[in-house]
Structure 1
Amino acid sequence: MIIASCVVTLELVGVSSLKEKRSIVKSVLKRLPQKFNVAVAEVEHQDVWGTAVIALVTVGNDTAHLHSQLQKAVSWLENHRPDVPIADYEIEILS
């Protein structure tokens, strides 16, 4: 069994409240599992307005497929959610 994770740091430009941030993050967290076979959660900076850190995790037996799946999820975020630019991301594979 191989576990693949991706930690993504999002910049929330123009967000002026935690309520607004949570609305945006909730939308992102809802769409990613629908589009990709991943579990998602906000993992850091929950009380910081301008930044969100989310983690995507998936499990399988093919490292290349899992890496590709997470890379596609990051690309989807970049292309379909320009309102939440990606500041950084890191993919890690555990076997």
Structure 2
Amino acid sequence: MVLQIPGARSLKDRRQVVKSFKERARARLPVSISEVGDVERHQVATLGAVTVARDSAYCVSVISQLTELASSLPDGVLADVRTEVLSFGEGGEGIRGGIESRAEGSRSNPPGDFADLAEKWGQK
């Protein structure tokens, strides 16, 4: 999800809004959240969130609640959101072949090499 933080005049302001959102989300929902975008832009924060459950409907519900929480931020605006649910089959049967084989568009780059993603997203 992408949060716009129009009132942030510094990285410190931005970090406070992000920290507050992450703490509120973790207190209410079984999610893990991390910044995944450019951390130097003080009015924009790109966050990735994940939840794991046996039931995909439950995952969808948790992510929906997280999106609602982000939409109600007093100091931020939810500018964009993208969701994806990965199913590993009944009893995790699909995970036996490796998680990367189940993820659409899996990558074979070495750890830390994101050059292909920059090209894919139109960045150099």
TM-score, normalised with respect to structure 2: 0.66
Write out aligned runs for 1:6-85 (5 A): 8-79=1-72, 81-85=73-77
CA deviation profile, 1:26-59 (whole Å, cap 9, x unmatched): 1111111111010111111111111001111011
Structure 2 unaligned spans of 5+ = 88-124
Aligned to 2:84: 92
Tell me which of the two structures has the higher relative contact order, counting C-alpha pairs closer than 8 angstroms and 6 or more residues apart.
1
Structure ID, larger Rg: 2
Gaps of 5+ in 1: 1-7
Percent identity of equivalent pairs: 31
RMSD between aligned residues: 1.0
Which structure shows the higher helix fraction? 2
Q: What TM-score, normalized by structure 1, do the two folds share?
A: 0.85
Three-state SS of the structure 1 residue aligned to 2:75 is coil
In terms of fraction of residues, the more strand-rich structure is: 1
Partner of residue 90, structure 2: none
* Over 6 Å off, 4+ runs: none
